[in-house]
Structure 1
Amino acid sequence: MITTTGLTKVYRSARSRGRHVTALDGVDLHVREGEVFGVVGQSGAGKSSLIRCVNLLERPTSGTVTVDGQDLTALAGRGRRAGRELRKARSSIGMVFQHFNLLSSRTVKDNVELPLEILGVSGQARSRRALELLDLVGLADKAKAYPGQLSGGQKQRVGIARALAGDPKVLLSDEATSALDPETTRSILQLLRDLNQQLGLTVLLITHEMEVVKTICDSAALMSGGRIIESGTVDGLLATPGSRLARELFPVGGAASGPGRTVVDITFHGETASRPVISELARTYNIDISILGAAMDTVAGRQIGRMRIELPGSYEDNVVPIGFLREQGLQAEIADGDGGDAGDGGDEKNHRTAGAAAAPEAAGTAEAARGAAPTVPAQQTAPAKETSK
């Protein structure tokens, strides 16, 4: 439904004597029809420039933007003002702004009617459509109120109703919940998900809040320095070894308690999220397992989580237990050694590579171990300290 190819946006800075600032640097993005797609990143990552280029509120320096099979960049022309064809194409794209952008002198109903008024829709049809949309967003009783009489969440609902006035196929959301309290944020996100399902809308939203991605997004992309550095379905990213976005969505911390210990990050999803796999691991191999951190939540109706555990001994001592975890359908990675991601020192990179190659062999060894009394290294013979996930 939305595709950008090689999208760049370069701004000329008036304060720095002609210096150019690159906000977008060759962005390739693909949003499928009917999905909720979130773009996340820190301030200055290029998120706002990206979403404003999608509907050509900002003209890209180069690259193409295609929405519903139509190349919008080909309709832009050379002038600063949008031509008739571009304005017509934009009517299928609604946009919700961070700060509502409502006209204080107009009633709620009149604010919703504004896009239809610009499109030349007759007064009676405008009124009927506005009332339908206000009912859809739960504000039928506020039609005659003014924006100054509304709460922040109600104002954003008016903004969403206005964005839907032209019956768009695509809804763009520019940090629509960042100015709202947590409870109101949840209600607005639920409204966006309901609209996505009821109307078949494709929703592209930008946010710096990981909770937004966990709550409603089917797919997501992580931006940094004007580039998309990672993208995919949320489920797929969580199952991808080394995914930065997965670490951001479910951060876990905790350093090794001392030298000669192996720190492992585990991702649970699907049926594995409800199974006592850590207990099974401790019983099967009679090893001490310390849980350093854990995060669990529901994403798209499924429980997903990450856990950081510490195993006694070096990586080589724990190849079989780690293989057991992978055999159970879990993603198990040796934790990085930078910052709070503690592990087993400078050899972790080699350990991780070796672990990926050894996973099938280790899994087979784990299968055999369950059929016989496990043989474990001497440092792994203490009773398990923690036996539940």
Structure 2
Amino acid sequence: MPGHTRAAHSTVTESPVITTSGLTKVYRSRGREVTALDGVDLHVREGEVYGVIGQSGAGKSSLIRCVNLLERPTSGTVTVAGQDLTALVGRGPRAGRELRRARSRIGMVFQHFNLLSSRTVQDNVELPLEILGLSGQERSRKALELLDLVGLADKAKSYPAQLSGGQKQRVGIARALAGDPKVLLSDEATSALDPETTRSILQLLRDLNRQLGLTVLLITHEMDVVKSVCDSAALMERGQIIESGTVSELLATPGSELAAALFPVSGEATGEDRTVVDVTFHGEAATQPVISQLSRTYNIDISILGAAMDTIAGKQVGRMRIELPGRFEENVVPIGFLREQGLQVEIAGEGPASAPQDDTLLVKEGAK
């Protein structure tokens, strides 16, 4: 399609297209200071969908608004597609023009759509093209192409009030693509939508990521968003990134808070002489009957207390909480068996379980 032939499909590279270094944002009001961002280092690789997740007040919105300098950072740097945006912040018309030009290559999708009710769908998409100085004929051609790309070619002459929430967000996405951006930022773009519409919008973002080679940075408080669409993710708390990495890396990281939140399991031991273990399955191990093999190999009864399974990037992954008979020191060998099958094993609530290193039983430190 003309104007959108950047890539047939997206390929994640090691080259970062979004980098923040020591990013800090302090809000001052009535003599008080509130630190929204506290030294955030973020690296989003070219061609990936990167999710930033956290509770309300964690600093997610401040982060994404600092990436395109809608909010001016108090300190630190923001680099997008090799350009230091923070260096463009200055006084005078020239600085303003350069920053606007840089921003035109960064698309932004908002939670509440931000459409102009007095304009048709096509006119809403044409708005940034007007600002870029395109002729009326060029604007019309490109707006119709973008509406076709997001599945709304038949709604060009409709008004926002005539659209559903999902359709409005598709218009917002089309408008965000008007400047042929290399980067698309999504600020809670699905939080106002119902689950089915959310899935369709996330699929659209993933399709655009692949078709156009877009790098997508999205913020959300919904774990399902990360599971369904993200290649990498970061967990924010109190203005800091406390954990980050590819989703597969996080699932394989002992004690990962994000992995536990993505695949929550629960269940308490039924007695003092029981060992409760959290097992993380990913890759080929997720399709193997490991638990039944463990039961047969060591002739032990295993109780499944909870499980959470899903498919990420076409691969089945998940976590399971199981109960083994006997205390920890009696279960070192069975736990070692699980680890030998390529599984991540943790004693529930206590972190990674040790694997046997030789023929000697390893007794957990502090166990009596």
* TM-score of the pair, normalised by structure 2: 0.92
Could you tell me which residue of structure 1 aligns to residue 195 of structure 2? 182
State the alpha-carbon separation in 2 of the partners of residues 4 and 175 from structure 1. Answer: 20
SS of equivalent to 1:59: coil
Gap runs ≥5 in structure 1:
337-347, 366-389
State the alpha-carbon separation in 1 of the partners of residues 304 and 357 from structure 2. Answer: 25
Structure 2 residue corresponding to 1:8, chosen from 20, 24, 29: 24
Could you tell me which residue of structure 2 aligns to residue 320 of structure 1? 333
Cα 1:237–1:79 change in 2 (3 A) is: farther
State the alpha-carbon separation in 2 of the partners of residues 213 and 297 from structure 1. Answer: 12
Could you tell me which residue of structure 1 aligns to residue 119 of structure 2? 106
Could you tell me which residue of structure 1 aligns to residue 366 of structure 2? none
How much has 1:81 moved relative to structure 2?
11
Could you tell me which residue of structure 1 aligns to residue 204 of structure 2? 191
**Contact residue 296 and residue 306 of structure 1 kept, 8 A:** yes
How much has 1:80 moved relative to structure 2?
11
Q: How well do the aligned residues superpose, as a CA RMSD in angstroms?
A: 1.5
SS of equivalent to 2:178: coil
State the alpha-carbon separation in 2 of the partners of residues 24 and 221 from structure 1. Answer: 14
Could you tell me which residue of structure 1 aligns to residue 347 of structure 2? 334
Farther off after superposition, 75-84 or 39-48: 75-84
Could you tell me which residue of structure 2 aligns to residue 371 of structure 1? none
**Contact residue 38 and residue 219 of structure 1 kept, 8 A:** yes
Max Rg structure: 1
1:26 aligns with 2:39: yes
**Contact residue 24 and residue 50 of structure 1 kept, 8 A:** yes
**Contact residue 326 and residue 359 of structure 1 kept, 8 A:** no
1:294 aligns with 2:307: yes
1:68-113: CA deviations, max 9, x gaps? 0000000011579970010111111000000000000000000000
1:235-272: CA deviations, max 9, x gaps? 00001110000000000000111112111000001111
Cα 1:164–1:239 change in 2 (3 A) is: same
State the alpha-carbon separation in 1 of the partners of residues 94 and 259 from structure 2. Answer: 41
Q: What amino acid is the match of 1:361?
A: D
Count of aligned residue pairs for this structure pair = 345
Gap runs ≥5 in structure 2:
1-16, 362-368
Could you tell me which residue of structure 2 aligns to residue 361 of structure 1? 358
Structure 1 residue corresponding to 2:218, chosen from 205, 222, 234: 205
Could you tell me which residue of structure 2 aligns to residue 248 of structure 1? 261
Cα 1:317–1:198 change in 2 (3 A) is: same
Could you tell me which residue of structure 2 aligns to residue 129 of structure 1? 142
State the alpha-carbon separation in 2 of the partners of residues 12 and 70 from structure 1. Answer: 28
Cα 1:84–1:270 change in 2 (3 A) is: same
State the alpha-carbon separation in 1 of the partners of residues 94 and 153 from structure 2. Answer: 35
Structure 2 residue corresponding to 1:163, chosen from 164, 176, 183: 176
How much has 1:313 moved relative to structure 2?
1.0
State the alpha-carbon separation in 2 of the partners of residues 94 and 299 from structure 1. Answer: 26
Percent of aligned positions that are identical? 83
How much has 1:13 moved relative to structure 2?
2.3
Which aligned runs of 4 or more in structure 1 are off by greater than 2 angstroms?
78-82, 358-362
